[in-house]
Amino acid sequence: MKVFVSSDMEGTAGVVDWEQCVGTGPEAAAGRRLLLAEVNAAIEGALAAGATEIVVNDSHSTMRNLPPAELAGGASYISGSHKPLYMMQGLDGSFDAVLFISYHGSVGAPAGLSHTYNPRAVVEARLDGAVTGEAGINALVAAHYGVPVVLVTGDRCACEETAALIPGVHSAIVKEHVSRLAAHSLHPDAACALIRETAQRAVTGAAAAGPPPLRSAVLEISVRTTDIAEAATWVRGVDRTGPRELRFSGDDPLAVYRSFCAAILLTRSIAEVV
């Protein structure tokens, strides 16, 4: 059994501030240790359920947050910031299950460090009218390849947003929202135990799970400025439906996802200066 892990960071128990998520300072180093423990807990749970190969795609910030030699179970590691499939790089139809680890709530949601891909550009994202975060958008790739998303871990908002789009997904909620910069987290050992147990259940049931029901989903994005919206329309498959409203369409979910990622990359410099 082959398992794909997409690991973010802001959903990690004990992580509540950007200094724990970016840079090279002591706070960032401590945050990465917490993240590594949760990723390894998910790997250990998957292995206990019969997984024979684990691929971890580092999906946070510069995407080189985990020490490769310390990944459990001999997992292979995809790292580095330039990836055509971004947070889902490496996934294809050969996998049996997808795990989303340390995910966070969407921009504007009641969740710590909430954002959706680029907080300077994206104000809200919707799939078939339902507000979603990165988990829902990333699930488009799993839908294309027909691979079930069986687990999401992180804050309550991330787990509830994912469950609304993927019925039956297993959730491991490791912290509760207090404010955007505060949370009530499980002790790291308790968080890892919960993730390990939930991952084992999720992967055990993967054979009976279907892919995300998103093959015909419509992705709509509200952006912060009209300049961002205009630049995004330079990407194939993007239509402007309002001054700051975008609609992403394509022949399949992967085409929608690729158009979205291209628009995010293209508008990044504009979002930082306007």
Q: Which residues are catalytic?
A: 115
Question: Among candidates 196, 241, 208, 209, which has minimal Cα distance to 223?
Answer: 241
Q: What is the largest CA-CA distance in the chain?
A: 51
Handedness of CA 45, 46, 47, 53 (dihedral sign): negative
For residues 247 and 29, give the distance between their C-alpha atoms in angstroms, rounded to a whole number. 38
Q: Residue 58 in contact with residue 7, Cβ under 8 Å?
A: yes
For residues 206 and 260, give the distance between their C-alpha atoms in angstroms, rounded to a whole number. 28
Q: Where are the alpha helices (DSSP H) in the chain?
A: 26-48, 134-145, 156-165, 188-204, 226-232, 253-273
Residue 168: CB atoms within 10 A of its CB come to: 13
Q: Residue 142 in contact with residue 85, Cβ under 8 Å?
A: no
**Residue 90 zone, left/alpha/beta (φ > 0; ψ -120 to 50; rest):** left
Helix (H, G, I), strand (E, B) or coil at 164: helix
* Structure tokens, 219: 């992705």
Residue 190: CB atoms within 10 A of its CB come to: 12
Cα end-to-end distance, the chain, whole Å: 47
